[in-house]
A = this chain, B = another copy of it.
Amino acid sequence: MSSPTTTTAPAPAAATVDQLAIDTIRLLAADMVEAANSGHPGMPMGAAPMAWTLFSRHLRHDPSAPEWPDRDRFVLSAGHGSALQYALLHLFGYDVAEADLRGFRQLGSRTPGHPEHGDTPGVEATTGPLGQGIAMAVGMALAERMLAARFPEIVGHRTWAIAGDGCLMEGISHEAASLAGHLGLGRLTVLWDDNRITIDGAVDRSSSDDQQARFRAYGWHVVEVADGTDVEAIDTALAEATADPRPSLVAVRTVIGHGAPDVAGTSAAHGSPLGPERLAEAKRRVGRDAEAAFVVPEEVRAECRALAAAGHDARTEWEGQVVALREAEPARAAAWQRAERGDLPADLDDEFWAGVAASLPTTPLATRQSSKAVLQALSTALPELVGGSADLSGSTGTDVGTRPVGPGDYSGARIDFGIREFAMAAVLNGISLHGGLRCFGSTFLVFADYLRPALRLSALMRQPVIYVLTHDSVAVGEDGPTHQPVEHLDSLRLIPNLRVLRPADAQETAEAWRSALEHTEGPTVLALSRQGLPALPGRPTAGHLTRDGHRVVRDASEPDVDLVASGSEVALALAAADVLAGEGLAVRVVSVPWRERYEARRTGLGAATATVAVEAGTTLGWRHLADAVVGVDRFGASGPGPAVLEHVGLTVDAVAAAARSALQARRGQ
């Protein structure tokens, strides 16, 4: 743990405390980058005035309680400017000490190169991959509205983000801003650090957008600040943004590396330390000791202390509102508190899941349809579960009749994300980071590629977002190779902290949902079939899939062959087992909805002579687990599903042949 001790110094008499604070932020950021000999001084130096004005006059926060549920959220979408955020957190008394600033970008520090949620008190989101911060802010602003609709007595805050040109060039800025405009998220304000410089040079080297006009086209309110060093103008603009019922873009014209000799206003200020001479001169220019680093004037510290105290008072007042709610309506207050903690309702227990299991049909059913039945049950049993689809709610089985959210009414649980997979995932991250809700999104598995950068952030931030990804193989059929996932299951399993579950029938689908909901340390992918799948023999027992990752669906003592499969291929493996059994072989069939857990737990099975894995996807990730893999190492084709399966070699004959060969090879050893 670090303590908030710091160096202090008297300030020149003439400067306002605002100016002193802004200079301090600039120099702290430059000192950090200099100490690390790595990082981005330009953005913090240019954006210091807007960030200071936001933190000192508009942001509702209590540095002593960074997890206060009703705090305003702040996201630094231009994450490379992390030193700006660390300087502010330090000044306002978050648990970020001078020693932490001095440890900028060092291993194990709470001041990593980009803001990392979980590493630093006050950092609401991991940013750096450009554009995603805006979308996560949209998710936070949406979560606020949805919770305010449910708990108006105790929820009512705002969401702020600072974005750079890179964020606005990225496509996700379009998806997220369009969605925010449509949803009327008036409590969202994005400050655009309009410094007209990117890493490679001037913005006009690669962009001629009229960003203001673009955001107006999304239904946003746009305010401009011509001089990004003018605190009063920024203050006025932020007040206008707050007053307007639409989401607001505050376009603030800045100079990158403001105050840095030679390099201010150029890309040279973007991503390199200023160097000792320039840094010393920058300090001299604002009347500071050129030799001293990490200096905070006492006036600035006092001002921040007072502001933090005001934030503390606001939180105390809010705590009173929570107490009032608890006294007036203890059940509602308890429900809010439970969801805020991330706990599931107590009655989402074995009995509930047994009821769900009993309600599922035993006739063949696509796992996307089984998933819909489970989601239907959850829509009443888990009121904080919200989510939707990127315009495939019918196909993915995620439209279970809950009401959509939108301007005027955010009390529903359905989010219509539109054809915006990437923003969907990033918005889900924002909702999850906000707290108080559990969330899911859905699209076709093949389009996991579109949202992959945000799914990676779900995993990096360990957010329990649930991804319902259907049409999970070449069996999709007629839509052809652009719509047929092949490499996607394996490619998702590569992402650290991500649980990838591919259930084989209705019962396993229910278990997979349970596993996903009970997993709070990271995201889960549910890979579900388009086509109908038969009910397998036996049922997974409660928690079985999560514990073992697999179950035996056809047993054999001293098996000659293990057929190991996931999802739709378990039925294929069973059919092949019948053929092989007819030839006198002892065949065991293992359903593996969770491969990584199977790998860790499979020793409990006892070994078969030979093992063959079967999955309608790339074979790479199965090869070390089996003597042979029947899979798909090529793109699919357009045609009826069964024809495509045969075309790519996913047939009973192929599985049986692979088993015979593997067994022969093993016996010949």
Q: In the complex, what residues of B have CB within 8 A of residue A126's CB? A: 482
Report the bound CA distance from A389 to B456 in whole Å.
23
Decide: A494 and B491 in contact? CB cutoff 8 A: yes
* Cβ-based interface call for A332 (8 A): no
Interface presence of A667 (CB below 8 A): no
Contact string against B for A residues 180-222, beta-carbon threshold 8 Å, 1 for contact and 0 otherwise: 0110000000000000001110000111111111101111000
**Is A640 located at the chain interface by the 8 A CB criterion?**
yes
Determine whether A460 belongs to the interface, using a CB cutoff of 8 Å to chain B: yes
The one of B108, B419, B495 that contacts A487, using a Cβ cutoff of 8 Å? B495
Selected from B207, B211, B452, the residue in CB contact (under 8 A) with A449 is B452
Asked whether, in the complex, the Cβ of A171 is within 8 Å of the Cβ of B173, the reply is yes
A494-B487, A635-B460 in contact; A480/B182 too (CB < 8 A)? no
Cross-interface CB contact of A490 among B198, B211, B216, B494, cutoff 8 Å? B494
Chain B residues within an 8 Å CB radius of A179? 206
The answer to whether A480 and B394 touch (CB under 8 A), given A423-B171, A496-B487, A620-B621, is no
How many angstroms from the CA of A593 to the CA of B644 in the assembled complex? 34
- B205 pairs with A404, CB closer than 8 A: yes
Q: A298 in the interface, Cβ–Cβ < 8 Å?
A: no
If A116-B638, A620-B494 touch, whether A172 touches B169 (CB-CB below 8 Å) is no
Q: Does A493 contact B (CB under 8 A)?
A: yes
Contact of A113 among B105, B391, B446, B483 (CB under 8 A): B483
Q: Are B217 and A211 in contact (CB under 8 A)?
A: yes
CA distance A67 to B114 in the complex (A): 49
Contact present for B200 and A391 (CB under 8 Å):
yes
Please tell me if A639 contacts chain B, counting CB pairs below 8 Å.
yes
Residues in chain B near residue A497, CB distance under 8 A: 635
Tell me which residues across on chain B come within 8 A of A165, comparing CB atoms.
419
| A395 on the B face (CB < 8 A) | yes
- Once the chains are docked, how many angstroms separate the CA of A603 from the CA of B36? 47
A374 to chain B, nearest CB (A): 21
Inter-subunit contact A639/B206 (CB<8 Å) = no
A399 to B199, CA, bound (A): 13
B496 near A482 with CB under 8 A, answer no
Residue of A219, A497, A621 with most partner-chain B CB within 10 A: A621
Q: Is A254 an interface residue (CB 8 A)?
A: no
Note all chain B residues with C-beta closer than 8 A to A416.
Answer: 200, 205-206
Residue count of chain A within 8 Å CB distance of chain B: 104
Contact with B along A453-479 (1 / 0, CB 8 A): 100110110000000000000000111
Bound together, the chains give a CA A460 to CA B446 distance in angstroms of 13
A633 CB–B CB distance under 8 Å: yes
Are B198 and A493 closer than 8 Å at their CB atoms?
A: no
> Are A393's CB and B638's CB within 8 A?
no
Known A174-B171, A207-B182; judge A453-B450 contact (CB<8 A): yes
A457 contacts which chain B residues (CB < 8 A)? 482
Contact A478–B635 (Cβ < 8 Å)? no
Say yes or no for A618: interface residue by CB 8 A criterion. yes
Q: Does A486 have its Cβ within 8 Å of any Cβ on chain B?
A: yes
Instruction: Identify which of residues 403-419 in chain A touch chain B, using a CB-to-CB cut-off of 8 Å.
Output: 404, 416-419
B209 touches A181 (CB 8 A): yes
> Which residue of the partner chain B has the closest CB to A165?
B419
Residue of B175, B419, B449 near A198 (CB, 8 A) is B419
Asked if A541 is at the interface of the complex by the 8 Å CB criterion, the answer is no
Residue A170 interfacial (CB < 8 Å) = yes
- CB of A481 within 8 A of CB of B494, answer no
Cβ-defined contact, A171 with B175, below 8 A:
yes
- Interface status of A261 (Cβ within 8 A of chain B): no
- Which of B116, B169, B212, B478 touches A418 (beta carbons < 8 Å)? B169
Q: A169-B418, A170-B420 are in contact. Are A36 and B217 (CB under 8 A)?
A: no
Residues of chain A in range 360-416 having any CB-CB distance to chain B below 8 Å: 389, 391-395, 399, 404, 416
A639 contacts B116, C-beta separation under 8 Å: no
- 12 pairs, A vs B, C-beta closer than 8 Å: A38-B478, A107-B644, A112-B637, A112-B638, A113-B480, A114-B480, A114-B638, A128-B480, A165-B419, A170-B420, A206-B420, A209-B219
Which 5 pairs between the two chains have the least Cβ-Cβ distance? A171-B171, A107-B639, A206-B418, A174-B174, A112-B638
* With A493-B620, A620-B620 already in contact, 14 other A-B pairs whose C-beta atoms are closer than 8 Å: A38-B478, A112-B480, A129-B446, A169-B418, A171-B420, A199-B391, A200-B416, A210-B217, A447-B453, A450-B453, A487-B495, A490-B491, A623-B623, A624-B624
